[in-house]
Copies of this chain bind each other. A is one copy, B any other.
Amino acid sequence: MKKKALHCIDVQQFNHNFLEEICDLADKIREISRTKAGMEYLASILNHKRAMLYFVQPSTRTFLSFYSACQMLGIKCAEVRDPKTSSEIKGESEEDTVRTFSLYFDLIIMRHPRANFAEKIANLLNDTDHPVPVINAGSGKDQHPTQALLDIYTLRRSFLHRGGIAGKQIAFVGDLRRGRTARSLALLLTQFQGVKLYFVAPSEYQMGQDILSFLDHQKTAYEITDDFERMIPAVDAIYMTRLQDEWDREEGISVDIDIERFSFQKRHLDLLKADGIIMHPLPRRQEIAVEVDSDPRAAYWRQVRNGMYIRVALIAGIFQRDKKILDYYLANT
């Protein structure tokens, strides 16, 4: 039988059990990483592996989060970010470019503007003698599975002493139509009992019908509204998103919508539950006022750090080192 690699392509791969396990592993990794000895242990796990970060779409946060996660596990990284320095200007197909990576590296992490490109590459590599795992770090307007993982992880940690994610009310605010993070997270939340989702946006930016149909099918409750302030007191978590206007040109549209109505201001803190949280995948513009940052319910900076730990857990799992890390945790903490 031909060897195949484990890939991480889309959120449809993740079932409830996987989500629980990876969040638990991320918690353990976080604990282990608190000491020099722990960091040295983590850095010994995959010190024989090397990763290519192929990011041809602008990204600081996701790139650095994966880069950091690899470094924590001892994986040596290389990167290709600017297609201008690559062989593509010599006319090579992108499939050839990525196949080349697979011959030098043990893992390919890619962010790409083309929808389904990561999946295509994963299939291509599975047909070669030397398949390596592919992680989708964001493709087109579509999937960004590790962002959804870190969002689930943040929700889970936030509701740790409140019975977990099940039964919580979660609002999504902003450009829901094109924000792949909101779309992916909504899909994953169907795996938790009794959640209710609010989609808060002007009609031009409302959540896509494909997602709504899936929620219907999964019997996950949701409400569609454009009344931001009324929703705030009702929910346990507010997931703010940014206007994705980098797609405007491609879509040939130039909308002029008052998105300001959908921003979280300092005064809104008074409306929010005492144990509610505010999330944002970042980068932000004016969707959340800077004065909100210092409120303990502002979870978006913690979210950034959670992203690093969940990616460490994901990569460790792909290389089947999760059991080994849990053993170390039991023996050493």
Contacts and interface: CB of A to CB of B under 8 A. Distances in A.
Interface string A39-74: 110010001101010010011110011011001000
Contact of A103 (B76, B88, B100, B308): B308
A84 B84 CA distance: 13
Given A58-B85, A82-B85, A104 B65 contact: yes
Interface string A75-88: 01010111011111
Given A65-B104, A282-B100, A304-B103, A60 B39 contact: no
A100 B61 contact: yes
Question: How many copies of the chain does the oligomer comprise?
Answer: 3
A47 B305 CA distance: 20
Contacts of A50: 68, 71
Interface stretch (A91-99, A221-229, A324-332): A91-99
Interface in A259-289: 282-285
B86 A60 contact: yes
A96 B58 contact: no
A105 interface: yes
A153 interface: no
A92 B284 contact: yes
Contact of A58 (B55, B89, B103): B89
Interface string A211-231: 000000000000000000000
A283 B84 CA distance: 15
A90 interface: yes
Nearest to A49: B39
Given A48-B36, A64-B100, A285 B92 contact: yes
24 contacts: A40-B47, A43-B48, A58-B85, A58-B87, A59-B87, A60-B87, A60-B100, A65-B104, A68-B104, A68-B105, A71-B78, A82-B82, A82-B85, A87-B282, A90-B283, A91-B242, A96-B284, A99-B301, A103-B301, A103-B308, A104-B304, A104-B305, A127-B294, A130-B305
